[in-house]
Structure 1
Amino acid sequence: MNARPRAPLTVLVVDDELRSLETLRRTLEEDFTVFTAPSADEGEAIMGREFVHIVVSDQRMPGTSGVEFLRRVRSQWPETVRLILSGYTEAEDIISGINDAGIWQYLLKPWHPDQLLLTLKSAGELWRLQQENQRLSLELRDSPEQLVQRVASRRGKVCARSGFDRLTRAADSPLNGICALAQKIAGHELSVLVTGESGTGKELLARAIHYTSERADRPFVVENCGAMPDTLLEAELFGHKRGAFTGAHEDRIGLFQQADGGTLFLDEIGDTSPAFQVKLLRALQEGEVRPVGSPRSVPVDVRIIAATNRNLEADVASGRFRQDLYYRIAGITFHMPALRERPQDIPLIVADMFKKSALAGRRFTAEAMKCLVAHRWPGNVRELQNEVLRALALGDGDELGAGLFSSGVRQSGTLLNTASPAFDPEGATLKELLDQVEAQVINAALLRHNGNKTRVAEELGLTRVGLRMKLARLGLGGES
């Protein structure tokens, strides 16, 4: 039996800038029922007559602040998920919002539509989980055995959804060796460092390691350490006591304690300051954290998985990153390959996206798929996802052509038309199609660089040895 479709959740957006209000409404109205208000007073009036699941408020408004408005919302409608949208990043505002108004997310302007939608959908899931938690709490009083079975079943589903199968890959993908090794060490208490460009799936690998380990039934907690002031990052990770600093109106449990018994994923750890690295190193060495403003430390048991898009070894050599912290977090290191290094995975990633969309019957033409496989994807999987979503939104009919892509992706396909051998999809297997596209990509690069294989290797992210092997395998000639 098919599950009944969920009714759209309601979002209230409060912003005194009418143009911003209208842009937000247009961005969200396809996925949510959207109410808008140009002031906090009108926002409260709407909440008094409508059932609002999520409220997004600007921080700086005439007469009041977003934090003050959301503090009142928290008092009257505590179940509503609250978010701040602001162009300012003062630490006091952020801390006050988190503590006083119970704000779930502090979003910064300018915002990206895809990221905003993703955040609001996560907020909707949080609201639903809160309701489910309340319902289960009531059931627990009447039938604890049944609830235990249900929780175990759901935990198993979460583990299955978050395992290594989430990393979509072909039979000859470079990811296979990485996943095999990661699966092997998942059950051991090794700290893990994951490197690679943004958008390559570092967090997906971290989740897979956690949900394949013995810590799978404990929390997996994520913190992005990039572009966050030391004071705020310390309060987020270690927690703080009431009155520890301006805006600290109540005790807050840090993420280390929230992840106790589980895994703490520290993304963009390479962006932390040397001063904060000292505090983090001490926490990892001692297995305890001291909340800001507290006289005593709290023991914690967490597994650390860290990630960065920087070259930490070079940062260690230059003194930007502490060597002792590097060896503490890099018990084993995995490097996630860029999407351009695994073009064989692109058709599978696209097919998986089509399967999950409401328009599962659609497909790309051979020319469109050729463009996708040929593109270098500086934004990696995130950029690919955006292109596919763009084509789904703009295209009509079941077959989607290359004209629906952005100019950069279309140009990648155009460059292939100057190369040989010709692309012939008739009767070819997936591997043969990928070999044809790979041959055309290399030929196009050879043409651009007048046969200079060193430059071709650099452009394609290959070593000269790797390029030589591909030339031999694809029958494109030997080394000159």
Structure 2
Amino acid sequence: MGIQGTILVVDDEVRSQEALRRVLNQDFEVLCAGNTVDAEKLLEGEIVHAVICDQRMPQESGVSFLKRVREMWPDPVRMIISGYSDSEDIIAGLNEAGIYQYITKPWQPDRLIEIVREAIQLYRLQKETETAGVDVKATPAHIKQVVSVKRGVARQLYDFDRIVHSAASPMRGVIELGRRAADYDISVLITGESGTGKELLARAIHYGSARATKAFVVENCGALPDELLESELFGCKKGAFTGAYQDRIGLFEVADGGTIFLDEIGETSPAFQVKLLRVLQEGEIRPLGAQRVRKVDVRVVAATNRDLEAEVEAGRFRRDLYYRLAAFPVHMPSLRERPMDIPLIAEGVLAAVKTSFNRPHLRFAPPALEEFCRYHWPGNVRELQNEIQRMAVLADADELRCPPFSGRRNGRRAAPAVANGKLNGSGSLKDRVEDLEKTIIVHCLEKYDGNISRVASELGLSRVGLRNKLSRYDLKKNGKGHSLS
């Protein structure tokens, strides 16, 4: 099973420390301190899942120390161990220090291991349900029941059969690939344009796998700078960097035994890619500011709207990381490649809009669905959802007749004239593609008067991804629009 968590034992008697270490060392990483000063130093330098503290020590009582731990490091599960059965101490520990378990001496080894294992489970469940720092009153069994119910609902919501598609849809092949991937513990790379449902497929793979009873966590890798992204994924100690005001457990540790979905993996920097590669190779993480690594068992599903093979050839994405992530590649087709699915998806979206807008009699007029099928949907399913919501807002009657984009010829926006010139230019394929990409971005910036959010939405990029491209192509604001510098 491997190391399940880190335990801090605080006891002024060395023999007691060694006895606890011998019993717990096989299943847990055990740190020992002979006094509260040394214990606090360990808490400052390590991520600790549970603290076992002797009640009667020369400097101060265990309850007094754990009360301070609760205030400064609220995450670790706190336990008292004592040979004295003083009811007042027990009550004080429960009320003032949030004690999870009062362990009496002499303790039984098997029972002690069981208690500590439950404490580690409680720690992880609290993190997963975002209840860390709250009084430890709920039992692991209760929290586990709550999480189990949530996972049961999630399995129903994100089953492969819930992915909307018709009999002739190319999504049938995608779903079959997803089902096969779910059966095996293999890394999956999902590619496709923004808004095609990559996260939906990732969730279906997780809940269709043997890891379904564990956590599924999501991180958008294009939304954060490297240091914050490392903190989110790997965890950090308080004070590890500016703004790290408390210990943070990383999402890889939260997902231990489960699945982590790394969206927009193509937006990461080369420096971060090196650190992620090590995690995937070694199966271990080192929280920022911590001295020790910890093992994790996590399945990685990554997604990108970039052509990562082209990014590898261009030197912007590490080849070794690409092969680690793309053990089982799956490509999500765009909505324009599956027009036969559009009426089904639209009706499903409308059903949700009826509920959220409290307009139960909304319906599509046939011309509206025909227009949907003719439009090319650059924003894919996400754009379809937005258009239907706009139609509902603008409609005075219950019948939705005319999509807001119906005035566009064939549902397409005209390409900027300068783009055609670029296609006939000279230079390598890479240079000509980048020239075209740069031109399209300039056109969109002018179209939306430099509004980054609207440009990013139209191009299917995150704000961070768009800013990276602006930086790469040295595009700067120039009055109302943008131009090449």
TM class by shorter chain equals 0.5 to 0.7
* SS of residue paired to 1:307: strand
> Would you say 1:186 and 2:191 are equivalent positions?
no
Partner of 1:163: 159
Counterpart CA distance in 2 for 1:150 and 1:229 is 34
Equivalent positions of 1:414-429 (< 5 A) are: none
**Scaled by the length of structure 1, what TM-score is found?**
0.55
Partner of 1:392: 392
State whether residues 221 and 265 of structure 2, in contact with CA within 8 Å, keep that contact through their aligned partners in structure 1.
yes
Partner of 2:294: 298
AA partner of residue 302 (structure 2): A
Equivalent positions of 1:109-120 (< 5 A) are: none
Counterpart CA distance in 1 for 2:197 and 2:318 is 25
Equivalent positions of 1:262-277 (< 5 A) are: 262-277=258-273
Partner of 2:370: 370
Partner of 2:337: 341
Counterpart CA distance in 1 for 2:242 and 2:411 is 58
> Would you say 1:195 and 2:228 are equivalent positions?
no
* SS of residue paired to 1:221: strand
> Would you say 1:411 and 2:408 are equivalent positions?
yes
* SS of residue paired to 2:330: strand
Counterpart CA distance in 2 for 1:232 and 1:151 is 27
> Structure 2: where are the runs of 5+ without partners?
1-70, 75-128, 413-485
1:396: Cα distance to partner? 2.6
* SS of residue paired to 2:408: helix
> Structure 1: where are the runs of 5+ without partners?
1-74, 79-128, 416-480
AA partner of residue 365 (structure 2): T
Partner of 2:81: none
State whether residues 193 and 332 of structure 1, in contact with CA within 8 Å, keep that contact through their aligned partners in structure 2.
yes
State whether residues 202 and 301 of structure 2, in contact with CA within 8 Å, keep that contact through their aligned partners in structure 1.
yes
1:410-441 Cα offsets, whole Å, 9 max, x none, are 435689xxxxxxxxxxxxxxxxxxxxxxxxxx
1:344-376 Cα offsets, whole Å, 9 max, x none, are 111111111222222343221121111111101
State whether residues 221 and 265 of structure 1, in contact with CA within 8 Å, keep that contact through their aligned partners in structure 2.
yes
* SS of residue paired to 1:305: strand
State whether residues 166 and 204 of structure 1, in contact with CA within 8 Å, keep that contact through their aligned partners in structure 2.
no
Partner of 2:348: 352
- Higher-Rg structure is 2
Partner of 1:175: 171
298, 306, 312: which one aligns with 1:310:
306
1:145-166 Cα offsets, whole Å, 9 max, x none, are x987776454322201111133
Query: CA 1:297–1:409 in 2, change beyond 3 Å: closer, same or farther?
Result: farther
Counterpart CA distance in 1 for 2:281 and 2:367 is 54
Counterpart CA distance in 2 for 1:300 and 1:179 is 28
> Would you say 1:361 and 2:361 are equivalent positions?
yes
1:317: Cα distance to partner? 1.1
Partner of 1:229: 225
* SS of residue paired to 1:295: coil
Counterpart CA distance in 1 for 2:228 and 2:327 is 27
Partner of 2:62: none
Query: CA 1:306–1:154 in 2, change beyond 3 Å: closer, same or farther?
Result: closer
State whether residues 190 and 302 of structure 2, in contact with CA within 8 Å, keep that contact through their aligned partners in structure 1.
yes
* SS of residue paired to 2:262: strand
> Would you say 1:245 and 2:245 are equivalent positions?
no
Partner of 1:207: 203
Counterpart CA distance in 2 for 1:278 and 1:225 is 14
Query: CA 1:389–1:136 in 2, change beyond 3 Å: closer, same or farther?
Result: farther
Counterpart CA distance in 1 for 2:211 and 2:297 is 11
State whether residues 374 and 412 of structure 1, in contact with CA within 8 Å, keep that contact through their aligned partners in structure 2.
no
Partner of 1:475: none
State whether residues 374 and 413 of structure 1, in contact with CA within 8 Å, keep that contact through their aligned partners in structure 2.
yes
1:183: Cα distance to partner? 0.7
AA partner of residue 217 (structure 1): T
1:448-467 Cα offsets, whole Å, 9 max, x none, are xxxxxxxxxxxxxxxxxxxx
Query: CA 1:154–1:399 in 2, change beyond 3 Å: closer, same or farther?
Result: same
1:269: Cα distance to partner? 0.5
* SS of residue paired to 1:306: strand
Partner of 1:282: 278
Partner of 1:401: 401
* SS of residue paired to 2:238: coil
1:337: Cα distance to partner? 0.6
AA partner of residue 269 (structure 1): I
* SS of residue paired to 1:265: strand
The 4+ residue runs of structure 1 with deviation greater than 3 A are 133-138, 146-154, 412-415
State whether residues 370 and 413 of structure 1, in contact with CA within 8 Å, keep that contact through their aligned partners in structure 2.
no
Partner of 1:328: 324
State whether residues 195 and 308 of structure 1, in contact with CA within 8 Å, keep that contact through their aligned partners in structure 2.
yes
State whether residues 181 and 188 of structure 2, in contact with CA within 8 Å, keep that contact through their aligned partners in structure 1.
no
Equivalent positions of 1:45-64 (< 5 A) are: none
1:359-397 Cα offsets, whole Å, 9 max, x none, are 343221121111111101111111100110111111133
**Scaled by the length of structure 2, what TM-score is found?**
0.54
Counterpart CA distance in 1 for 2:180 and 2:335 is 24
AA partner of residue 348 (structure 1): L
Counterpart CA distance in 1 for 2:273 and 2:366 is 50
State whether residues 354 and 360 of structure 1, in contact with CA within 8 Å, keep that contact through their aligned partners in structure 2.
no
Query: CA 1:137–1:343 in 2, change beyond 3 Å: closer, same or farther?
Result: farther
State whether residues 237 and 256 of structure 1, in contact with CA within 8 Å, keep that contact through their aligned partners in structure 2.
yes
State whether residues 281 and 325 of structure 1, in contact with CA within 8 Å, keep that contact through their aligned partners in structure 2.
yes
Query: CA 1:366–1:329 in 2, change beyond 3 Å: closer, same or farther?
Result: same
Counterpart CA distance in 2 for 1:245 and 1:414 is 49
State whether residues 375 and 411 of structure 2, in contact with CA within 8 Å, keep that contact through their aligned partners in structure 1.
no
Counterpart CA distance in 2 for 1:288 and 1:372 is 48
State whether residues 364 and 401 of structure 2, in contact with CA within 8 Å, keep that contact through their aligned partners in structure 1.
yes
Equivalent positions of 1:13-32 (< 5 A) are: none
Counterpart CA distance in 1 for 2:150 and 2:179 is 22
1:120-141 Cα offsets, whole Å, 9 max, x none, are xxxxxxxxx879x999965x59
Counterpart CA distance in 2 for 1:327 and 1:386 is 36
State whether residues 168 and 349 of structure 1, in contact with CA within 8 Å, keep that contact through their aligned partners in structure 2.
yes
AA partner of residue 190 (structure 1): I
CA RMSD of aligned residues (A): 2.8
